[in-house]
Amino acid sequence: MQIVSANGASIPALGFGTFRMPGPDVIRILPLALKTGFRHVDTAQIYGNEAEVGDVIATSGIPREEIFLTTKVWVDRFARKDFLPSVDESLKKLRTDYVDLLLLHWPKSPVPLAEQIGCLNAVVKAGKVRHIGVSNYNCALMGEAVALSQAPIVTNQIEYHPYLDQTAVIAAARSYGMAITAYYAMADGRVTKEPLLQDIGARHGKTAAQVALRWLVQQQGVVALTKTATENRVAENFAIFDFHLDAQEMDAISALTRPDGRIVSPGHLAPEWD
């Protein structure tokens, strides 16, 4: 597995995401993902499946230290009085003493950012979290978070796929030594139907989805999350490290960006996007 290094964290470049994955699906699919070779698992408090993720990891037979586990604190728990108990609750559900990465899930909140970052630092100091990060932040917010934090901010998890230009956010993250973790890599299914990606895939004996994932992880400092509830797609999504896209192919995929490419932008949670 390719590793992305960011401010002291070593993050497997391909993660298995569990967004909108009900508990029974986690119990059914995640063991197969771990057996296939995934060692990066992404969940969140709001997903409602931390307990199932924890059960699968605990019974997988894989040593805990070999799995990079991420969860996220939901916005209604950003105040200090709620934040720290919520992390303890997550750890209990996940059946672990620590998570490798804890993220603030969305930026819009009445709780001051300094308080949120202070809470992240507190759980690091308590040994409950190895690394901290943010999610859905714009460039300005990333800069504020970095300035406020004693512990390094290691990633910004954002929507990123061939139709959405994230050049500015990626450049800002790199300037802070941070990684970018890409979610919605399939752009809600549009990627699999994209003729350019299909054509490039045909050259390499790969699917359009594999090409899109390869395009992501081939970029400096980019981690990709993939999710599926279909058994035969697990191995397909994992098989992206045995081919290489040339510069022309990378540029052609990047040129798919469009002004209306963003899919995820809830007004009550999202910042002003770059």
Tell me the pLDDT tens digit for each residue of 238-248: 999 999 999 99
Q: Which of 219, 260, 218 is nearest to 240 (CA)?
A: 218
Give the residue numbers of the binding site.
105
- Helix axis angle, 139-148 to 113-125, nearest 10°: 50
Say yes or no to pLDDT of 107 above 90.
yes
Please enumerate, by residue number, every residue annotated as part of a binding site for substrate: 105
pLDDT in tens, 121-177: 999 999 999 999 999 999 999 999 999 999 999 999 999 999 999 999 999 999 999
Four-CA torsion 9, 10, 13, 14, nearest 10 degrees: -90
What are 200-220's pLDDT values in tens digits?
A: 999 999 999 999 999 999 999
**Residues 6 or more apart from 66 whose CB is under 8 A from it?**
39
CA distance 15 to 42: 7
- Catalytic (active site) residue 47: yes
Average pLDDT, the chain: 97
**CATH for the stretch 3-254:** 3.20.20.100
Domain boundaries, the chain: 3-254
How much is the pLDDT for 1?
Answer: 84
Residue 17's closest CA among 233, 196, 267, 190? Answer: 233
Of 73, 79, 109, 77, whose CA–CA distance to 268 is shortest? 109
**Residue of 47, 98, 160, 184 marked catalytic:** 47
